[in-house]
Chain A
């Protein structure tokens, strides 16, 4: 009724609505301007600032930034063996954490989505989310106590301890996307596979895995990028090892060398871009 009234005698609001209705592009640009501004200014802007800073240097004594172009930071980064070792170690940790989380999360998510009753499903989701309510530091220190040589696990500290702790910390971020993906998978497909004679493994390989793969990719992006940037867990349970995050932190926090820290920080960004490009080739991103 209101629309017909607006059509018969358009007020200013009606005229605006009619204008927007006719000019789809204006409508679209108005709708998108806020998120695009956020993306452009806050997100890409910050990344760009980081990248530009990487080409500056600092006055080593007063700590002031020297805003003149130099390749020196990247030169140090590429020529120093230690940075390559640390980058590869961080990459290894991120891959290991992602694989462990995948192996633990997939059966869990499958059971939640397909085997549990709707009532149990809700409780399981809450249980998976519960650890996220506790502080990151509390959980990391809890693992420190458990891993201590007189603790419950008693493994001692080091890279293994770091991988175990990170796998625990990021597990919910893997379970939830896979759970959501599997929930959308019609159970009738599983029944159909069974009717056609496929056993468990074959059903998994030809039906469940291909359809849930985009969800797995989504989860792996979380666990992979979170592990790649972490520096606190490794400080708490890592013994004497260090990751990319520690190099960034040490250069900003202790040495006040923001440009070099920025140069180091581009390494995980590049690794993530390569990872996303590889994922894109599999076509998983289109089905997210």
Chain B
């Protein structure tokens, strides 16, 4: 009797202790789960999406920024003018901006940041964004002039990437571990492997954010992510790792499930230089043989939008080419026969770890088998994938999601792992770089999509979905991810 009373009291105390934590945390703080931990917190020195998912728009800001719809907005540059020839950009900077360490932000910091990103010993993962920049000059403390050579119509968009974030010369070297930016949140602490904590920056130059505190909790296991949501340990997962659990969340009134779009074109990459894939008929046959919807249903539990070229469906310049190679195994077999493979052939497919690749690869192998192409499935880790497939292009087929925003330009690169060579496509890209008016650009982007579809460069599968789950009372998280970000500036609780 005595013992059970004691046990009961102990359990009650324990329960109260545990419950006190979320009760205190509610209202003005938010805890979001993320699957991968950032390797460090300097967005100008690494490609890991997880870095931007923590820091973009929260800790660091650029001259421009990209909003939830993928449109360029002013950030630390309150306005700008572009010369008629598209070669000179003049940016007027916001006044009274301070870095988190208290130092002033001015035009010299812009010059420093951009020169650092494009300099000779730069370790910026997206150095190509700044390729067109010829000079960066501080006209006065709040005016910056950037000259380009040649012109580049996407410069304002490029300057809105996380990799173009503005940093201070005094703190830049320490940003990986102790990030100092100008954003509405400042860095508090990072318990490696567990969480990253941010707090409201009261000295912010713009509208001060509602949240007092934001925590990113690193939970890589899908089952653990589910448990953490159910137990209320986290308030949401902007990218929930297990699409198979989404229906369970949908059925629970405590949660909102929001399926949006990402910049991730998921493609069956084809080595265009290797026989028989150097034959356009073979590639077209593959495009006809793939049943996109069955891949989306089977590998992604129905989350994802079919694509017909390397372009995101939510973008205004998108051209729907999904009908160009509608699922048609008969036609695929006919094309293979025309190409000289009436009995099909054997090939290999190398699959990196993400589930879209591993699950999708099996479905594609089954689809291709129906038209006579026998695939040997080779699962690979990211390390060997980068070496074999990406760098040395020693592969036949692979599946990967290209998550960089508006990256159709990769098809014009001299040396890229698809080994695709098209002067027509390069011509369109050159024109695009010289065009600054929106309508003209959209038209050219449409042409570019059409060329890739005609050449069946890759098997264009689907646009990766952003499967978000969060507390139903949480407002202001992004539905789509036009850039890899968890912008918390507009996040608040509805009560």
Q: Is this pair of chains taken from one and the same complex?
A: no
Binding site for A on B (CB under 8 A): none
